[in-house]
Amino acid sequence: MLDLFAGLDTHVAITLILSLGFVLAFEFINGFHDTANAVATVIYTQSMKPRLAVFASGVFNFLGVLTGGLAVAYAIVHLLPVDLLVSVNTARGMAMVFALLTAAIAWNLGTWYFGLPASSSHTLIGAILGVGLANCLINGTPLSQGVNWGKAIDVGLSLLCSPLVGALLSGLLVIALRRSRPQSNMHKTPFQRQQVEGRKHPPFWMRFMLIVSSMGVSFSHGSNDGQKGVGLIMLVLIGIVPAKYVLNLDSTPYQIERTRDAALHLQQFYNRHQTALDAMFKPSAAGSNVHDCRRVTPCALPTT
């Protein structure tokens, strides 16, 4: 990990540290922001104590991150076009990273403070799309090229359909239980059970299923939302230190040195023959945008 900072300018290294800190801050806020969704049922029904529920939810979230793969992380990275990611310079990369992270953190903190059950996934996706569209407006490029709209549509459909599917399935399950077991005390609130039975927590089997479902939600949250942090770290590395990101860390020092020498020689060659190269690759009189070297006689430059 420390290899990322080797050879970086001081301001770039500081920027990289701050950006990774912002990512960790987002993940921390995302954790306590979304944990309430997973443990609300077991706490309300008195199935688990609040502190135990939060601790268990954190454990299952962590297990979900470890075993969930990287599909969601890659989906986040692929929302922005490859051209934008590989051509961005350090200054633009800094602006891109800080803009999307600041927007996501501000929204998460705001909705948490006011007690609004909002999704951090929608926030982060919107921030990434906003970065791509803002880049188009700044550079004067078409909006169709600022975002990978195919991937954005796929992600948007999943974010739209998931709550609808969840609401439909849960509604059907409640209706089925109401009709099949209308007198069961599982339909009672904790207050009603306290008045009738002298206890607040539900029957054992219902309590067991509530705990299993709550920890399952936590595990699923880790295997999906937990990967957003991985995707953000990838965006940080690509946006601020792209050369470090694409470097093969298994390369030997000799291979890296030879690559550097080849790049320097290529730059020197271009500087010596800039006029000839510019003339060769100018658009032809017929309106062609690319000069065909095969039509040049002789098609060669002075050797170095």
Burial class from Cβ neighbours inside 10 Å (0-12, 13-18, 19+) for residue 67 reads exposed
* pTM of the predicted structure, to 2 decimals: 0.61
What are the structure tokens assigned to 237, written together?
Answer: 């590395």
Residue 299 has pLDDT above 50, yes or no: no
Name the more confident of 133 and 254. Answer: 133
Report, in angstroms and rounded to the nearest whole number, the Rg of the chain calculated over CA atoms. 27
- Residue 290 confidence (pLDDT): 46
Residue 88 has pLDDT above 60, yes or no: no
- Residue 16 confidence (pLDDT): 75
- Say how far apart CA 248 and CA 77 lie, in whole Å: 20
- CB-based contact 110:103 (threshold 8 Å): no
* Residue 285 binned pLDDT confidence (cut-offs 50, 70, 90): very low
- Residue 3 confidence (pLDDT): 57
* Residue 5 binned pLDDT confidence (cut-offs 50, 70, 90): low
Per-residue pLDDT tens digits for 217-253: 889 888 877 777 777 777 777 766 655 555 454 556 6
168, 163, 188: which is closest to 178 by C-alpha?
188
Cα–Cα–Cα angle for 234, 92, 135, rounded to 5 degrees: 95
Residue 127 has pLDDT above 80, yes or no: yes
Residue 169 has pLDDT above 80, yes or no: yes
Looking at residue 169, its amino acid is L
Average pLDDT over residues 154-167: 86
Name the more confident of 247 and 161. Answer: 161
Average pLDDT over residues 186-198: 72
* Residue 101 binned pLDDT confidence (cut-offs 50, 70, 90): confident
Average pLDDT over residues 61-85: 73
- Residue 112: CB atoms within 10 Å: 18
